[in-house]
Structure 1
Amino acid sequence: MSARGRYFRRLVAGIFAGVFWMDTAFAQSSEAGCRFEPVAGTARQILRCQEGLTIIVEDGARFSLVDRDRNGNADAVRLRRKALLLEAPAGGVQGGFVVVTPQAIAAVRGTRWTVDVGQGKTSVFVLRGRVAVQRPASNAGVVLAPGEGVDVGKLTVKRWPAKRVSALMARLGQ
């Protein structure tokens, strides 16, 4: 089995355990160890969280922070609408960081990536590191490398064109 395959299997095992626990007994707070910083001249916000976790929030995004292990720090986010740009340094969030949307679960150990929810679909794009993506209640999943993205449905990994990446990053002020 390739290193990419082993990485994916480890992440998927963690995703299943974490998502089951999050759905059955999660603790949620408005701050969860993060502080909000407004971005001057925009409606965007930046959340600065424990151990270097940073989340840039698109104007109008609907999300909630989740503290799965109840230690007072966010280790997951439920995203319902619009986009987030996340940066989770390797080893920064114990057990990795998870983004749960209606259509997908994206999990990492250390990376920079975006998750965008809109019109009944979830899209995930990786800028740095690797991200495991799967549909909820499914064993099927993929691992994305830098420059790769997926529109959750068939889970077909594609290298995204620069125009698409630029448009998404512009929405996030990048």
Structure 2
Amino acid sequence: MGTAVAQTRCTETTRFDPPLRVLRCTDGLLLETERNATLRPIDRNGDGRLEGAELGGGAALITLPPSARVRREGFQILTPHALASVRGTVYAVDVTNARTAVFVERGRVVVARRSTLDGAVTLGPGEGVDVDADQGPLEVRRWPQERVRGLLERFGQ
């Protein structure tokens, strides 16, 4: 059975095929992470609703149903390299030591380097961006099906 996460309105459960940790919030926010991923929920004001999460390594799939989107406009995933802000519904974030990759399945997500918010890009469905330590402009690309499939299969998609 699930356990409550801190004082949030979310419950954590485990899925075994594929092995995932699932954080399900009462307003519909769903965070699925690989079992080895390091995810720290962020509730700055202590009201029990997450404003974001810090992903230190591994991959996460974030799903926001339309009913939760309006209340979650400021939801962010922070990684060592990037800041991904929700503007849509379903996206994945994959963190390694060298980079953060963000891919949007549905909706829109704004991505910026964590070190500077200048040069932020907006990703749409089928688009992704790789953010590393380089300070050059972020390049939005349509991801090849093999890369998309490789990432989403890690979540049983």
Count residues with an aligned counterpart.
Answer: 146
Shift of 1:44: 1.1
Residues 44 and 143 (structure 1 numbering): CA distance in 2 closer, same or farther, change over 3 Å? same
Unaligned runs of 5+ in 2: none
Percent identical pairs in the alignment equals 40
Residues 129 and 170 (structure 1 numbering): CA distance in 2 closer, same or farther, change over 3 Å? same
Residue 103 (structure 1) aligned to one of 65, 81, 86: 81
Amino acid of the structure 2 residue aligned with 1:160? W
Q: 1:156 is matched with which residue?
A: 139
- Give the conservation status (yes or no) of the 8 Å contact 1:134–1:141: yes
- Pairwise mapping of residues 1-174 of structure 1 onto structure 2 (< 5 A)? 30=6, 32-90=8-66, 92=68, 93-138=71-116, 139-153=118-132, 154-174=137-157
TM superposition score normalised by structure 1: 0.77
Shift of 1:36: 1.1
Amino acid of the structure 2 residue aligned with 1:172? F
Residues 38 and 160 (structure 1 numbering): CA distance in 2 closer, same or farther, change over 3 Å? same
Amino acid of the structure 2 residue aligned with 1:167? G
Shift of 1:65: 0.2
Shift of 1:42: 4.4
Unaligned runs of 5+ in 1: 1-28
Shift of 1:91: 5.3
Shift of 1:110: 3.4
- Give the conservation status (yes or no) of the 8 Å contact 2:100–2:130: yes
TM superposition score normalised by structure 2: 0.85
